[in-house]
Amino acid sequence: MQALFLTGPAHAGGYGFAAPGGYGVKVYRVNYALYPFVQLYIRTFDQNMQPLVNLNEMNIGLMIKGKSYDPMKRQYGIQSIRNRSEATRSVLVIDASKSMAGTASETALRAAARFIDSKRPQDEVAILAIRDTKEGYDLVSQFERDAGALARRLADIRIDGMKSRIYDSIGAAIQMCGMSAQGSSVDPSADNVIASCSVVVFSDGRDEGSALSREELNGRITSMRIPIPVYSLAYGKNSVDYFKNLESISKNSFGIYYSLGETYDRMQRIVEEIQNILQSDYVVTFRSYIPVDGEQHSFKVGIEYPTGSGKYYYDNGEFEAIEPPPIQAIDNYLNLLNQKIPLLPDNDPFYNRPSVQ
């Protein structure tokens, strides 16, 4: 069971990439509805934008208002999203123009089906097909958990469009993701939380007639408080020059760009890799000792990788010290967290550095 989100601002800087040989961490959501317990949803990545694996409490550095938590006092923990009940959301954007017909589109649809098959039962997928409509796309499926229903709707997509309004369609997918903070469309409740939302694009990147320009779309992406990564599978034999459009959007959105060309057989492996990334986020839960005051308080969370290297990369954000809403599901979850992270008798979770004589 998870609790309702009260979301605070994560770090507003650029999403960034890891330097060669390095790694990075991004806090993309902060939940303080369980106060004094605060949950930080983080994505980690190495220089190839792949997630760091097998992180534990000893990999975590946590600072509240400039003071470091002592890991030996066990006032925080870390879990993989893969082993929790929060759902992920994904919007598949599929280029259904005639220029993609044939082997390219058939392979893309099979890969999209594989993406759906590899999701967890609680994860939700929506589907947009880029076609000749007033909006530039068809809404093939709203967010849906039933893999069988999604597969049937995917099979109904016709590859017959005359133009490809790529930017308008990606913009619509991002807008759908923007509603994720309101909870699941299937059963919004205290124990049914959407942790993240992403966009997966199957196209050659050749835009024709979008109301949005690439620059305008990238501007919207840059201004987002919570990153919505766009993963692009760029394929096709006639439009390689347009691949850079998808590359620009993916790199600007904290996503990954995959240049396939005509190597269509790589699609299956790539969509499995994307699913692995989405399920490899972490949740850091810590107990705060700041009294309820209704104010915003700053934190930093860092990753030391590998353990003992002495090198930390940090991201920062804020949480609000407020009383939880009077909801029974939250009270039940608070009792569980109290057992896992019991209150310290001296109310001091911080590292006390030995005095230097």
Would you kindly state where each structural domain of the chain is located, as residue ranges? 23-80+281-340, 87-279
Q: Which residues pair with 60 in a beta bridge?
A: 303
Predicted local confidence at residue 12, as pLDDT = 35
- pLDDT band of 356, cuts 50, 70, 90: low
Predicted local confidence at residue 254, as pLDDT = 87
Is pLDDT above 80 for 163? yes
**For 222, which DSSP code?**
H
Q: Strands, E, within 5-130: which ranges?
A: 23-34, 37-46, 60-64, 67-68, 76-80, 87-95, 124-130
Angle in degrees, 0-180, between the axes of helices 103-117 and 147-155, rounded to the nearest 10: 170
pLDDT digits 0-9 by tens, 207-256: 999 999 999 999 999 998 888 999 999 998 767 789 999 999 999 998 99
Task: Report the distance separating Cα 27 and Cα 335, nearest Å.
Answer: 26
| Mean pLDDT, residues 106-122 taken together | 95
Rounded mean pLDDT of the chain?
A: 88
67-68/37-46 β-pairing:
unpaired
194-203/230-235 β-pairing:
parallel
Task: Report the distance separating Cα 74 and Cα 42, nearest Å.
Answer: 19
Rounded to a whole number of angstroms, the distance between the first and last alpha carbons of the chain is: 50
Q: Residue 307 is encoded by which pair of tokens? A: 């353990």
CATH topology of domain 87-279: Rossmann fold (3.40.50)
pLDDT digits 0-9 by tens, 44-89: 988 888 899 999 999 999 999 999 999 999 999 999 999 999 999 9
pLDDT digits 0-9 by tens, 181-210: 444 444 444 456 889 999 999 999 999 999
Identical fold, 23-80+281-340 and 87-279: no
Task: Report the distance separating Cα 12 and Cα 121, nearest Å.
Answer: 32
Contacts of 64 (CB under 8 A, 6+ apart): 286, 288, 290, 297, 298, 299
- pLDDT band of 19, cuts 50, 70, 90: low
Q: What radius of gyration do the chain's Cα atoms show?
A: 22
Alpha helices in the chain (DSSP H): 103-117, 147-155, 166-178, 214-222, 243-252, 267-278, 328-340
Residue with tokens 């044939």: 102
| Mean pLDDT, residues 148-177 taken together | 93
Is pLDDT above 90 for 16? no
- pLDDT band of 7, cuts 50, 70, 90: very low
- pLDDT band of 320, cuts 50, 70, 90: very high
Burial class (CB in 10 A: 0-12, 13-18, 19+), 187: exposed
Is pLDDT above 70 for 322? yes
pLDDT digits 0-9 by tens, 84-109: 999 999 999 999 988 788 888 999 99
Question: Class for domain 23-80+281-340, per CATH?
Answer: mainly beta
Mark residue 74 as left, alpha or beta (left: phi above 0; alpha: psi -120 to 50; beta: remaining). left
pLDDT digits 0-9 by tens, 258-313: 998 778 889 999 999 999 999 999 999 999 999 999 999 999 999 998 888 888 89
Q: Residue 223 is encoded by which pair of tokens? A: 């201004």
Predicted local confidence at residue 190, as pLDDT = 44
Q: How many residues does the chain have?
A: 357
Q: Which amino acid belongs to residue 261?
A: G
| Mean pLDDT, residues 326-341 taken together | 93
pLDDT digits 0-9 by tens, 121-140: 999 999 999 998 999 999 99
Predicted local confidence at residue 21, as pLDDT = 59
Predicted local confidence at residue 192, as pLDDT = 64
Predicted local confidence at residue 161, as pLDDT = 81
Q: How many CA atoms lie within 13 A of 11 on its CB side?
A: 18
